[in-house]
Amino acid sequence: MNAIETQNLTRVFERYNYTDTQVSMDREDNPGGLFLSLYNRYFNKNVKKETIYAVNEVSIKVKKGQLVCILGPNGCGKTTLLRVLATLLKPTQGTAYIMGHDVVKEEKVIWRYVTYVAGLLTGGAWMDFRLTPKDILTIQARLYGFPEERIRDALELSRLIDVANVRVSTFSTGMLARLSVAIGLLRDSPVYLLDEPMVGISKDVTEELYSYVKNNIQKRAGATFLYATNNVLEAQRLADEIIMMYRGKVIAQGKVDELITKFFKEQAIDIEISNCSSDILKSIDSLPKVSKIINLTSKNESDITLVIYTASPREILPILIREILEKNGEIRYIKVREPTLEDVFIKVMKEKSKEGEVAS
Amino acid sequence: MEWMLPFHIVNLIIGVSTWIFFANTFGSSSPFLQNYGNDFISFLILGLMFNSLFAYTLDGFRISTLLFLRGRIGSMGQHLSMYDYVKLCGIPVSVPILAWLIDGYIETSITLLVYLIAGIIFGLNIGSGNYLVALVGILIGLFAVAGIGLLSASMITIAGAWKGIEPISWLVKLLVGLLAGVYFPTEALPDSLQLISLLLPHTYALKIARMALLTGFGFESLISEFLAVSLMSLILFPLGIIVYRYSIALIKIKTLVE
């Protein structure tokens, strides 16, 4: 049984585009606001109804104990997908299961299996800042029906035991984030849905939290994570598997290495050249077995930086170096590297955005 | 609530006093008061008392639902919507809504008590009344009004009625003030307006309560009023529940923010 499974999951939103209309007039404190709003929706020709496919026929499977990152730009449907799985939104079409339970038909039991965190800093939402971590965890334990003995473990794991009786209002951002993790630990959910959890948290704290998540929650408790992010490095660092989304659709899915091999058969040569003439550039353009050249500098500059993608860097490099030196160019830096997840992400997003432009 | 209460009570006392002095000046000689023991002060105080209960029943569901849908939990810029919070904690949606409703009823009970004390001081005379009949009449009336209140609350998600006034509640309140006999007997209205007043459950419930309390009428004497208000309750309350449940289910389907 998969921890999370969706089949053709679709969630549609309707929105109104108020072209040439004073949208502020149907505000809440205007006594006629409701009537104006209804007029705008149904009779005003300047208001256009739009249908948005926030999640479009998404089918995914996440095995128990896996940490899967959903990677995609803003507005690609990550949050909507997580909110459907957390039973906060109803899918328009398709099915979704958490630990074998249907999120629509068995909505009332899902909360026991899922901890949904919309940003670790949003964890503040679970806290009353006048209380202490101990008070907050006691409330959470009672609310969720967990033994209060677990509170001490959660405080120790999140390294908050020394400040267990200090008011949360005096805490730093990092401490608040750790308290959010403590709440997560306390709940001991089999499935965690994390929506861009590290946004707004500094690098040192995120590093600490990554290892908490990996070592204490995922490995120790065997929990499953669906982790939405637009940070490629974060995804590459944490994920057992990646799901890439674009405009509501899953466009790629697999392990990091698999994705890189799938999208890039080549390696990348980063090269910086001084005194680079047009002859040198022509020679580089005519090199054999080069699939793509990206010039990272602006035109008419003699010092340039290039990324050359090739499947045969060992064959290319001697020719490339000889051509540059013979034409009086100077190589300032050269490095052959494997493509990264970031290369895949940029390539896939550029292709999809071009497809979108062509389609529209 | 604890800080608002003293001001609320002072406002109520001044309001009741104004009506009592009004009643002392113009009341009791009217032929329309014959069915109500010719006692305008008692007539008025009972009207004000029960109307405050009906008014809250009409608006309470809508106010509680709005508080729930607009509510945020958290502090220092870190929030979850009340809806998300409640759902993620596995708390039934009905719990916070009913909690706010009960809170409002506690406040309304204090209002009723103030009216009752002021009434007793100024000569409210219900000593020989038929309390059971009045209580049953008011309870049946409350169910009918709650049905309208639930329909009104449903309009928040069905029609988007967090903007501006909510038409159902607004219309009923407008008509009740003039036609339901809160401040004067409906018999004083022209025939055409009396016909409209028959569409309001308030009219029957107030009539039952007043006649039972001021002249000691029993169930037999008030059978037509009981039948009318019971019929309204039997239709409006279940209808209100069905539509309200649908409106709550819409939260997960519709986009609430345009």
**Domain CATH code at residue A322:** 3.30.70.250
Q: How many CB atoms lie within 10 A of CB A24?
A: 8
Domain boundary among A259, A278, A300: A259
Quick one: closest CA in B to A129, which residue? B75
Q: Chain B window 201-220: which residues touch A at a Cβ cutoff of 8 Å?
A: none
Residue A45 has what pLDDT? 80
Across the interface, whether the CB atoms of B74 and A86 are under 8 A apart is answered no
Which residues in chain A are contacts of B87 at CB distance < 8 A? 86-88, 111
pLDDT tens digit sequence for A55-91: 999 999 999 989 999 998 888 899 899 999 998 889 9
pLDDT tens digit sequence for A280-328: 888 888 888 887 787 777 666 778 888 888 888 888 899 999 989 998 8
Distance of CA A120 to the CA centre of its chain: 14
Place of tokens 């909507």: A80
- Strand pairing of A330-337 and B72-75? unpaired
Has residue A32 got a pLDDT over 60? yes
Across the interface, whether the CB atoms of A126 and B79 are under 8 A apart is answered no
We report the CATH number of the domain holding residue A189 as 3.40.50.300
A14 touches chain B (CB under 8 A): yes
φ, ψ of residue A330 in degrees (nearest 5): -125, 125
- Which of A230, A171, A177, A238 is CA-nearest to residue A202? A177
Across the interface, whether the CB atoms of B163 and A33 are under 8 A apart is answered yes
Distance from CA of A130 to the nearest CA of B (A): 10
In chain A, the percentage of residues whose pLDDT exceeds 70 is 91
- Which of A271, A261, A253 is CA-nearest to residue A338? A261
Determine the number of helices (DSSP H) and then strands (DSSP E) in chain A: 13, 14
- Which of A257, A267, A296, A280 is CA-nearest to residue A330? A280
Say if A38 falls within a structural domain. Answer: no
Do residues A233 and A207 both lie within one domain? yes
pLDDT tens digit sequence for A172-188: 777 877 787 777 767 77
Q: Chain B window 101-160: which residues touch A at a Cβ cutoff of 8 Å?
A: 159-160
Residue B257 has what pLDDT? 43
Quick one: closest CA in B to A39, which residue? B159
Q: Chain A window 24-43: which residues touch B at a Cβ cutoff of 8 Å?
A: 26-38
Quick one: closest CA in B to A193, which residue? B88
pTM for the full predicted model: 0.76
Across the interface, whether the CB atoms of A111 and B258 are under 8 A apart is answered no
Which residues in chain A are contacts of B162 at CB distance < 8 A? 28
Say if A15 falls within a structural domain. Answer: no
C-alpha to C-alpha distance for B177 and B174, rounded to whole angstroms: 6
Say if A199 falls within a structural domain. Answer: yes
ipTM for the predicted complex comes to 0.71
Across the interface, whether the CB atoms of B74 and A127 are under 8 A apart is answered yes
Give A76's DSSP letter. Answer: S
Q: Amino acid identity, residue B134?
A: A
Mutation target for B interface from A15, A18, A21, A34: give the one with most B CBs within 10 A: A34
User: Smallest Cβ distance to B75: which of A27, A89, A129?
Assistant: A129
Structure tokens given for B170? 């607004």
More confident residue, B83 or A149: B83
Q: Amino acid identity, residue A272?
A: E
Say if A7 falls within a structural domain. Answer: no
Say if A357 falls within a structural domain. Answer: no
Do residues A140 and A195 both lie within one domain? yes
Cβ atoms of residues A161 and A192 within 8 Å: no
Number of domains in chain A: 2
User: Smallest Cβ distance to B258: which of A16, A32, A128?
Assistant: A16
Quick one: closest CA in A to B90, which residue? A111
**What average pLDDT does the structure give for chain A?**
83
Across the interface, whether the CB atoms of A124 and B75 are under 8 A apart is answered yes
Across the interface, whether the CB atoms of B252 and A90 are under 8 A apart is answered yes
Do residues A224 and A269 both lie within one domain? no
Length of chain B: 258
Do residues A175 and A231 both lie within one domain? yes
Do residues A203 and A319 both lie within one domain? no
Residue A57 has what pLDDT? 93
C-alpha to C-alpha distance for A196 and A119, rounded to whole angstroms: 5
Structure tokens given for B253? 């389907």
Do residues A201 and A113 both lie within one domain? yes
Distance from CA of B6 to the nearest CA of A (A): 27
Domain boundary among A259, A284, A299: A259
Q: Chain A window 208-247: which residues touch B at a Cβ cutoff of 8 Å?
A: none
Do residues A167 and A182 both lie within one domain? yes
C-alpha to C-alpha distance for B240 and A317, rounded to whole angstroms: 78
Do residues A181 and A123 both lie within one domain? yes
Domain boundary among A198, A229, A259: A259
Q: Which domain holds residue A227?
A: 60-259
> Is the torsion defined by CA of B103, B106, B112, B118 positive or negative?
negative
- Which of A160, A209, A153, A159 is CA-nearest to residue A185? A153
Which residues in chain B are contacts of A143 at CB distance < 8 A? 89, 91
Across the interface, whether the CB atoms of B74 and A126 are under 8 A apart is answered yes
Say if A16 falls within a structural domain. Answer: no
Which residues in chain B are contacts of A22 at CB distance < 8 A? none
Mutation target for A interface from B95, B157, B163: give the one with most A CBs within 10 A: B163
In chain A, the percentage of residues whose pLDDT exceeds 90 is 21
Say if A278 falls within a structural domain. Answer: yes
Give B217's DSSP letter. Answer: -
User: Smallest Cβ distance to A34: which of B77, B90, B160?
Assistant: B160
pLDDT tens digit sequence for A103-119: 999 988 888 888 887 76
A350 touches chain B (CB under 8 A): no
Quick one: closest CA in B to A11, which residue? B253
Place of tokens 């208000």: B229
Helices (H), B123-222: 131-158, 167-179, 191-197, 201-215
Do residues A106 and A67 both lie within one domain? yes
B166 touches chain A (CB under 8 A): yes
Residue A109 has what pLDDT? 85
Say if A178 falls within a structural domain. Answer: yes
Has residue A121 got a pLDDT over 60? no
User: Smallest Cβ distance to B78: which of A88, A111, A124?
Assistant: A124
C-alpha to C-alpha distance for B22 and B121, rounded to whole angstroms: 16
Structure tokens given for A50? 């739009």
Do residues A71 and A193 both lie within one domain? yes
B32 touches chain A (CB under 8 A): no
Do residues A190 and A79 both lie within one domain? yes
- Which of A96, A246, A119, A254 is CA-nearest to residue A194? A119
Which residues in chain B are contacts of A54 at CB distance < 8 A? none
pLDDT tens digit sequence for A336-355: 888 888 878 877 887 777 77
B122-B127-B129-B135 Cα dihedral, nearest 10 degrees? 80
B78 touches chain A (CB under 8 A): yes
Cβ atoms of residues A81 and A58 within 8 Å: yes
Structure tokens given for A14? 């309707």
Residue A309 has what pLDDT? 84
C-alpha to C-alpha distance for B93 and A107, rounded to whole angstroms: 13
Distance from CA of A243 to the nearest CA of B (A): 25
A136-A139-A140-A144 Cα dihedral, nearest 10 degrees? 180
Which residues in chain B are contacts of A21 at CB distance < 8 A? none
Cβ atoms of residues B40 and B27 within 8 Å: yes
More confident residue, B70 or A220: B70
Tens digit of pLDDT at every position of chain B (258 positions): 556 677 777 887 787 778 777 777 776 667 777 778 778 888 888 999 999 999 999 999 999 999 898 887 765 555 678 888 888 777 888 999 999 999 999 989 988 998 888 888 877 888 788 899 999 999 999 999 999 999 999 999 888 887 778 889 999 999 998 899 898 888 888 899 999 999 999 999 999 999 999 988 889 999 999 999 999 999 999 999 999 999 998 888 875 443
Domain boundaries, given as residue ranges, for chain B? 4-252
Do residues A254 and A273 both lie within one domain? no
